């Protein structure tokens, strides 16, 4: 029995592997162990609960949240991590190279880490100790973000909310919006947009036939439309999640496209949540911020992150811009509600991470970040050239650390498994980002150079 | 005109001061500037929007979330900070002492900060760099928390979810529960429980006459019942938030009381969310964890934090225990849904903070934490003795860093203002924690020794 075959056909549980084993889980369809890995050889799944045990387990009378039950699968990246681990158990000596989750690999420049170390040490001194900071972030950092990324764009320091990362802010924004909004996403797109929408109760059930949730507008982005949606064909959404440079396709919207997007939002009274987490990867003259587009402050929020700029995926630091000019239909400022959520559901990013963020935005820090980004962009070129030379249609890469490779007529998960099985390289199946990603695989350029080169050698071996 | 008088009678806006000023705010009742501070002398409020301006401002067609609109006041502590700042503008030379928000003041022991500095520096090396960590926390830390705080209680490492703090986890738990649950809180209690419940849509509107939200069970905790609610008098809640040692009353529940609480939850199928953020302050033999009570794993979640143990209020690190044995009514494990939220709406605590947490739980770290806690407990004794000597009825203090002082027949906000105005000491009005806190003021014991002594001298001057 092929474990890889199993892995591509299993019904995915909504939990991570750390919750597969409890013996007291009941036997109902939601909680049954759905992963059929061979128990003894893999050892991460022990479905030993018998119906008798399950029946005697105490259950509270609290109903499970129906929105949670709508979610279809494990969050994409933990699921990929699980498959990677299963592969490693099958091939313990395999030199696995991970170009899957966009996880940074290069050390953080010392100008940044020394600022964090200094702040850590300072916390042991009377003068340097600080407790609770402002929930919205430390003023010097808010100011540095505004002047570095939004100079001359009319964004004030107090429009900037410092956070522990863009993913976290996306959920906080969803809490602000609540359950009575309809949202639109690029298809394919970063899974956190759709999943947080489901969790907040904005959607209907998952429709298996079309692989979409009801009451979400999936805006198809494909090579044929330059990865920019046909806005004339969608029904009006309240909230438009728009990521550029895009994860996963790597496409960066042009000034004309973003002008069209802002105009659409203006005409329809929609709010754009613009995810610019990869803006520093832009090589050309595409806008780095939605606020470069005139009028955007009245219709847009922007969320961004130090994760992919400074290797802060583990340090955790990001920010969200909510301009004061952005108003709900009753004239109430969106920023006031977001501020309330930040104060009630969050307590600010770590002061040590914030010291690192401030160092990132010093002249030396910016130079160091650009060097690391330049390194990853060289990786991107190597990957693009590899798939190009093998005759694949390749997208993205130029303005983003992601390469979007087309495998016409094939299932993304099949290709993912084929690549993992035959080359021990972890990628990300395009369909994990929505039905519009089917047939594609995302290859991340985050990796040590020798690993990128080795992965490309293996790709050439497999697809020569 | 007394600014202090103004401060005690204003209708509190739901925003922090940083959002009071935009000139494009519309003039509807929700967004009008409700703080009537004298504009010129204070300078933090510029309500200059005229109806004309407001009418011409672009508004989106996105409706404001009705749950956000239900919230009545600014989150308590930002509101207190605003009043403190206003006081400072009136008395620029005042030596303000803050015993308000429970913000730690003593430096973090070096054994802990040096571990964080070391981890920071390591992030600049190839061997020491790490990107995304497990969303649930690093394994050694989960393991150390389990063995330090839950030894022999049957809590497994993977029942522990490391977070960026208890406040954040409370909101994540509310997202898990969704809008169709009814919750109970101690009255008075930490405001984040009620506010997050309102935000999630679990409540009705605020009822001004009783100062409560509809569809929340306020469990009165007062001197007469030993600060433990009469459970026979409440209507069945799904979720019971229970904080012990309590913030704000300082009361620590006894083993008998917690046994009664767990039995109530068992009998009624309720889930207890037990907040043990102050457990290390317990002097007597009261339980430190709800899981010391037999059967609690089937009905309880516990959330806790390094904030008040290690001075991590700014570093941000906490954890939540969700036992696998805790099941929704359909048998689905609560932990699986919490895990999904942690993976989808959060990306793990900062790796540097986690290195600090691990150092906290080393033998030297534990010793150092106990010394700092012992220092704050001496502060508590000084404050208790002061109010005792002045003839006040004083509660709390013994097992918690909070002293709960009774001012019979007086409004908490009036007493707060009197103390601030006459002694330049910031406290917290009891009614900010719920109607059951009316007539009380919470005095925090977090402070440098000389400030505690000076504050107590001023209290003696005022109330001699």
What is the model's pLDDT at position B56?
Answer: 80
* Closest of A315, A305, A304, A320 to residue A350, by C-alpha: A315
- Across the interface, do A15 and B348 touch by the CB < 8 Å criterion? no
- Nearest-Cα residue of chain A relative to residue B172: A345
Nearest chain B residue (CA) to A70: B337
What pLDDT is recorded for position B78? 78
Quick one: pLDDT band at residue A431, thresholds 50, 70, 90? very high
Rounded to the nearest angstrom, the minimum Cα separation between B346 and chain A is 5
User: Which pairing describes strands B440-444 and B402-406: parallel, antiparallel, or unpaired?
Assistant: antiparallel
Are the CB atoms for A354 and A141 separated by under 8 Å?
yes
Q: Which pLDDT band holds residue A55 (cuts at 50, 70, 90)?
A: low
pLDDT reading at B5 higher than 50: no
CB contact under 8 A, B19 and A195: no
Residue A342 distance to chain B (closest CA, Å): 10
pLDDT tens per residue across span A69-98: 999 876 688 789 889 999 999 999 999 999
**DSSP alpha helix (H) spans, A270-333:** 307-310
Quote the tokens at residue A218: 């999936």
Interacting residues of A49 by C-beta distance below 8 A, sequence separation 6+: A22, A23, A24, A25, A26, A27
* Rounded-to-integer distance, Cα B295 and Cα B262, Å: 7
Of the ranges B26-30, B266-270, B307-311, which one carries the lowest mean pLDDT score? B26-30
B343 shares contact with chain A (CB less than 8 Å): yes
> Quick check: A335 and A323 in contact, CB under 8 A?
yes
Distance from CA of A138 to the nearest CA of B (A): 11
User: How confident is the model at residue A19, as a pLDDT?
Assistant: 31
pLDDT at A54 over 70: no
pLDDT tens digits along A393-414: 999 999 999 999 999 999 999 9
pLDDT in tens, B345-369: 999 999 999 999 999 999 999 999 9
**Digit-coded pLDDT (tens) for A149-172:** 999 999 999 999 999 999 999 999
* Residues of chain A with C-beta less than 8 angstroms from the C-beta of B349: 316, 350
Mean pLDDT of chain B: 89
Check A129 against B315: CB less than 8 A apart.
Answer: no
B135 contacts in chain A (CB < 8 Å): 78
Per-residue model confidence (pLDDT) at position B89:
95
In this structure, what are the phi and psi dihedrals at residue A334, rounded to the nearest 5 degrees?
-60, -35
What residue of A is the nearest CA neighbor of B78? Answer: A343
Tokens of A288: 């780095």
Show the tokens assigned to B14.
Answer: 């739901």
Average pLDDT over residues B124-134: 96
Distance CA A345, CA B172 (A): 8
In this structure, are residues A330 and B64 in contact, taking their beta carbons and an 8 Å threshold? yes
Which positions 249-278 of B are in contact with A (Cβ < 8 Å)?
265-266, 268-271
Q: How far apart are CA B428 and CA A300, in angstroms?
A: 37
Closest Cα in chain A, distance from residue B123 (Å): 6
Closest CA to B71 of B111, B138, B12, B6: B12
**The two structure tokens encoding residue B331:** 């048998």
Task: Inspect the interface and report whether the beta carbons of B314 and A135 lie closer than 8 Å.
Answer: no
What residues contact A256, with CB distance under 8 A and at least 6 apart?
none
Average pLDDT over residues A290-299: 98
Rounded to 10°, the helix B139-149/B351-360 angle is 30
Cβ B154 vs Cβ B188: under 8 Å? no
Per-residue pLDDT at B31 exceeds 90: no
Percent of chain B residues past pLDDT 70, beyond the cut: 88
Tell me: pLDDT of A344 over 60.
yes
Q: Which residues of A touch B326 (CB under 8 A)?
A: 60
Among A19-33, A443-457, B37-51, B76-90, the range with the most confident prediction by mean pLDDT is A443-457
Q: Identify the residue whose tokens are 């496409």.
A: A251
Chain B residues with CB-CB distance to A338 below 8 A: none
Residue contact B331–A31, C-beta within 8 A = yes
What's the confidence (pLDDT) of residue B125? 98
Does the beta-carbon distance from B352 to A349 stay under 8 Å? no
Cβ(B194)–Cβ(B273) below 8 Å: no
Q: Chain A partners of B131 at a C-beta cutoff of 8 Å?
A: 103-105, 311, 313-314, 446
State whether residue A81 is helix, strand or coil. Answer: helix
| Residue B102 binned pLDDT confidence (cut-offs 50, 70, 90) | confident
pLDDT at B6 over 80: no
Whether the CB of A129 is below 8 Å from some CB of chain B: the reply is yes
Cβ within 8 Å, pair A332-B164: no
- pLDDT tens for each residue of B405-418: 999 999 999 999 99
Q: CB A105 to CB B131 under 8 A?
A: yes
Do B16 and A343 make contact, defined as CB atoms within 8 angstroms?
A: yes
Contact A346 B199 (CB under 8 A): no
Question: DSSP label at A97?
Answer: E
Residues of B in contact with A15 (CB under 8 A): 333, 336, 339-340
ipTM of predicted assembly, 2 dp: 0.89
- A167-192 confidence digits (pLDDT tens): 999 999 999 999 999 999 999 999 99
Give the mean pLDDT of B235-245.
98
Closest residue in B to A448 (Cα) is: B126
A100: number of Cβ within 10 Å: 26
Tokens of A360: 């990132």
Residue window 159-178, chain A: list those with CB within 8 Å of chain B. 164-165, 167-168, 170-171, 175-178
Confidence at residue B26, expressed as pLDDT on a 0 to 100 scale? 35
Query: How many Cβ atoms are within 10 Å of A436's Cβ, its own excluded?
Result: 24
Query: Do A345 and B199 count as a contact with CB atoms less than 8 A apart?
Result: yes
CB proximity under 8 Å: A 185-214 to B: 192, 195-196, 199-201
Q: Which among A113, A201, A328 has the least Cβ separation from residue B121? A: A113
Average pLDDT (B298-321) is 98
Q: Which residue of B has its CA nearest to A346?
A: B168
In angstroms, rounded to a whole number, what is the distance separating the alpha carbons of residues A347 and A136? 8
Identify the pLDDT of residue A29.
36
Q: Is B124 in CB contact (< 8 Å) with chain A?
A: yes
Tokens matching residue B359:
């150092």
- How much is the average pLDDT of A51-56? 56
Residue B299 near residue B260 (C-beta atoms within 8 A): no
B139 sits in which H/E element: helix B139-149
- What's the rounded mean pLDDT across residues A282-301? 97
Mean pLDDT, rounded, for B420-433: 96
pLDDT-derived band at A28 (thresholds 50, 70, 90) equals: very low
Mean pLDDT (whole number) for A272-276: 98
Given this model, what pLDDT does residue B74 score? 65
Q: Find chain A residues with C-beta within 8 A of B105's C-beta.
A: 129, 131
Q: Which helix or strand (DSSP H or E) is residue B301 part of?
A: strand B300-305
**Subunit contact B25:A271, Cβ cutoff 8 A:** no
**What pLDDT, on a 0 to 100 scale, did the predictor assign at position A77?**
81
Q: What is the mean pLDDT of residues B205-231?
A: 97
* Chain B stretch 276-315, residues whose beta carbon is closer than 8 A to a beta carbon of chain A: 298-299, 311, 313-315
Burial (CB count <10 Å: 0-12, 13-18, 19+), residue B68: buried
Asked, as a colleague might, if the bond just before B248 is cis with ω within 30 of 0, I would say yes
At A39, the pLDDT band (50, 70, 90 cuts) reads very low
> What is the pLDDT at residue B49?
41
Residue B50, pLDDT above cutoff 80: no
Please indicate if any CB of chain A lies within 8 Å of the CB of B104: yes
Higher pLDDT, A56 or A389: A389
DSSP 8-state code for residue B63: P
**Per-residue pLDDT tens digits for A197-253:** 999 999 999 999 999 999 999 999 999 999 999 999 999 999 999 999 999 999 999
Whether chain B has a CB inside 8 Å of the CB on A22: the answer is: yes
Predicted TM-score of the model (pTM) = 0.89
Angstrom distance (rounded) from CA B196 to CA B156: 28
Q: Which residues pair with B216 in a beta bridge?
A: B183
- The verdict on a CB contact (< 8 Å) between A60 and B299 is yes
Interface test with A, best of B117, B143, B444 (most A CBs within 10 A): B117
């Amino acid at each position: 029995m092929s474990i890889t075959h199993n892995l591509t056909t299993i019904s995915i549980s909504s939990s991570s592997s750390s919750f597969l084993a409890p013996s007291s889980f009941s036997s109902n369809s939601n909680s049954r162990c759905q992963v059929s890995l061979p128990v003894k050889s893999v050892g991460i799944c022990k479905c030993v609960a018998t119906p008798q045990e399950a029946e005697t387990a105490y259950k509270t009378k609290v109903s499970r949240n129906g929105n949670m039950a709508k979610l279809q699968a494990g969050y994409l990246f933990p699921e990929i991590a699980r498959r990677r681990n299963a592969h490693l158990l099958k091939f313990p000596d395999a030199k696995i190279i991970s170009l899957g989750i966009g996880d940074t690999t290069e050390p953080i420049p010392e100008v940044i880490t020394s600022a964090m170390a200094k702040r850590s040490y300072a916390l042991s001194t009377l003068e340097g100790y600080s407790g609770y900071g402002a929930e919205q972030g430390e003023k010097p950092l808010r100011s540095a973000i505004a002047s570095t990324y939004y100079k001359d764009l009319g964004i004030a320091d107090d429009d900037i909310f410092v956070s522990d990362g863009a993913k976290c802010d996306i959920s906080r924004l969803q809490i602000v919006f609540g359950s009575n909004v309809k949202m639109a996403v690029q298809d394919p797109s970063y899974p956190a947009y759709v999943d947080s929408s489901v969790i907040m109760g904005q959607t209907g059930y998952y429709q298996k036939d079309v692989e979409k949730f009801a009451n979400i507008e999936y805006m198809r982005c494909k090579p044929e439309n330059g990865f920019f949606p046909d806005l004339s064909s969608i029904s009006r959404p309240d909230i438009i999640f728009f990521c550029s440079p895009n994860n996963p396709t790597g496409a960066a919207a042009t000034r004309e496209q973003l002008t069209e997007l802002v105009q659409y939002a203006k005409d329809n009274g929609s709010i754009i949540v613009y995810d610019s987490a990869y803006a520093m990867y832009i090589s050309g003259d595409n806008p780095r911020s939605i606020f470069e587009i005139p009028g955007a402050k009245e219709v847009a929020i922007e969320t961004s992150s130090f994760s992919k700029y400074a290797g802060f995926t583990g340090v955790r630091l990001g920010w969200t811009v909510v301009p004061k000019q952005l108003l709900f239909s009753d004239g109430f400022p969106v920023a006031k509600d977001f501020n309330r959520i930040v104060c009630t559901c969050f307590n600010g990013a770590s002061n040590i991470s914030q010291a690192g963020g401030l160092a990132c935005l010093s002249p030396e820090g910016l130079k160091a970040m650009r060097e690391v980004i330049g390194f990853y962009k060289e990786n991107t070129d190597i990957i693009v050239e590899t798939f190009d030379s093998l005759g694949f249609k390749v997208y993205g890469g130029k303005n983003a650390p992601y390469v979007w490779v087309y495998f016409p007529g094939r299932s993304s998960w099949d290709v993912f498994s084929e690549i993992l099985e035959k080359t021990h390289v972890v990628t990300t199946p395009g369909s994990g980002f929505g039905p519009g990603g089917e047939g594609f695989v995302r290859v991340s350029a985050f990796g040590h150079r020798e690993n990128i080169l080795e992965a490309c050698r293996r790709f050439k071996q497999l697809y020569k």
